[in-house]
Structure 1
């Protein structure tokens, strides 16, 4: 039986390799009861193992986003408190997965599960990531999420446009490429 302590120990052996993340993700998918302890570890903000838990959570969400549904309150309440860049990127990617599913033309469980409160917390966090000192991947995923969220909440697009334009001159080439794409979609 794997509990939170054992899961923590196993996460210590996870690295950036797809193989290790996929292996751990398979374990989580086979044991949905491990999603909650995985999130608890991911949201232990001052512990470097939290990044590894975040990587595994992202891999798990990519394979089966519905496994997060019972934990949306926990996820959305804590994503804004993640500090390590190596944990922010996968959390931003999960937000992108969630918003893409929510705004999908194909009916799915995420559309029924995400509440206005969840969407508000995702919106606030994505703006924080976009404005803050984070790497370009988190900013790019945030732009995509906010672009989608703006189709539901009209105030988001003008704010998104303003933030992107203000930060454009100082952005990296990758930031500028995603910014141009996002701005083109806002027109």
Structure 2
């Protein structure tokens, strides 16, 4: 499929789950659409970027491994993204990548550093709770790769705990317990 046809198809969807699933299925069937989707997220309008991210979200929840040939592009777009909805989706993708890393250790040191940097930015910054929860889980998933990570993660979770939502506190408690053991 051409970039123009993919853009037109992406713009046709709504935020309904059935539309997002259909887009995700197309990406699963034709993984090279990931490249176009990342380009739309980086360079497109907010509407095109958000809808492209919806499709990526569904596809990568089904099979995170299809991102491998595009991981470098994803990590570059990850660093530059400023769209709130895309941040939530990207934070979930980071969690999926780091969960896969726990099984297969398939992220390079540079890739882990990019993910950690962005996830700490999200955790420390003024982000919605879903982004923070996915970020803290991603950081925890990588906590054994560098000796400084557990202490920094624990400090951030404790610092934000009392002023945070129940959802944040629930995940933070779980991670703090794991860090203590």
1:156 to 145, 149, 152: 149
* 1:45–1:84 CA contact under 8 A, matched in 2: no
Distance 1:133 1:91, change over 3 A: same
State the alpha-carbon separation in 2 of the partners of residues 10 and 139 from structure 1.
31
Say whether the 8 Å CA contact 2:81–2:87 is kept in structure 1: yes
1:96 pairs with 2:87? no
SS in 1 for 2:43: coil
Partner of 1:42: 41
Query: For 1:83, what is the secondary structure of its paired residue?
Result: coil
Q: How does 1:69-148 map to 2 (within 5 A)?
A: 69-104=68-103, 107=104, 111-112=105-106, 114-148=107-141
In the TM superposition, residue 16 of structure 1 has moved relative to its aligned partner by 2.5
- For normalisation by structure 2, the TM-score amounts to 0.93
Cα deviation code 1:52-84 (max 9, x no counterpart):
111211111111212110011111122122112
Q: Could you say which residue in structure 2 is the equivalent of 1:170?
A: 163
Q: Which residue of 2 aligns with 1:54?
A: 53
Tell me the secondary structure at the aligned position of residue 153 of structure 1: coil
Structure 1 unaligned segments of length 5 or more: list them: none
Per the normalisation by structure 1, the TM-score is 0.90
**For residues 164 and 44 of structure 2, what CA distance do their matches in structure 1 show?**
27
Q: Which deviates the most, 114-123 or 168-177? A: 168-177
Q: How far has the Cα of 1:97 moved from its partner?
A: 0.5
Unaligned runs of 5+ in 2: none
In the TM superposition, what is the alpha-carbon distance from 1:161 to its structure 2 partner?
Answer: 0.8
Distance 1:45 1:178, change over 3 A: farther
